[in-house]
Amino acid sequence: MLFNSFTYAIFLIIIFGTYWLLPNKWRKYFLLLSSYFFYGIWKIEGLLLLLGFTIVNWLLGLLLNSFHGRKRKGILCVGIFLNIAILCVFKYYNFFLDNIDVLWDTNHWLFANFKTFLPLGISFFVFEAISFLVDTYKGENTLTEFQSFALYISFFPHLIAGPIVRVKQLGPQLLTDKKFSLAAILVGLDLLCIGAFKKVVLADNLASLVDASFKTSHSSAWDIWITGGLFSMQIYLDFAGYTDMARGSAKLLDYDLPINFDFPYVSRSIGEFWRRWHITLSNWLRDYLYIPLGGSRAGQNRTYINLIITMGLGGLWHGAGWTYIIWGFYQGVALVVHRVFASSPKAKSLFEQTLWGRFSAWMLTYLTVIIGWIIFRSHDVFQLSSWMQTLLTPTAYIQSSQYWFWGVMVIVALIVLKVLFEFRQQGYQSNKINKFRPILYITVLFSLALFAPQSQQFIYFQF
Q: What is the DSSP string of 51-95?
A: HHHHHHHHHHHHHHHH--HHHHHHHHHHHHHHHHHHHIIIIIHHH
Contact 297, 309 (CB under 8 A): no
CA distances in angstroms from 80 to 27, 77, 126, listed in the order given? 31, 5, 9
Helices (H), 197-220: 204-214
Q: What is the DSSP string of 296-355?
A: TSS-HHHHHHHHHHHHHHHHHHH-SSHHHHHHHHHHHHHHHHHHHHHT-HHHHHHHHSSH
Burial 292-305 (b: 16+ CB within 10 A, else e): ebebeeeeeeebbb
* Alpha carbons 57 and 68: distance in angstroms, whole number: 18
Residue 267's nearest CA partner among 377, 364, 344, 334 is: 364
Burial 56-77 (b: 16+ CB within 10 A, else e): ebbebbebbeeeeeeebeebbe
Q: Is 318 a catalytic residue?
A: yes
Evaluate the omega torsion of the peptide bond into residue 163 and state whether it is cis, within 30 degrees of 0: yes
Helix then strand count (H, E) for the chain reads 21, 0
Q: Out of 158, 278, 318, 338, which one is annotated catalytic?
A: 318
Residue 372's nearest CA partner among 325, 437, 309 is: 325
Q: Which residues contact 251 (CB under 8 A, 6 or more apart)?
A: 184, 185, 187, 188, 191
Catalytic residues: 318
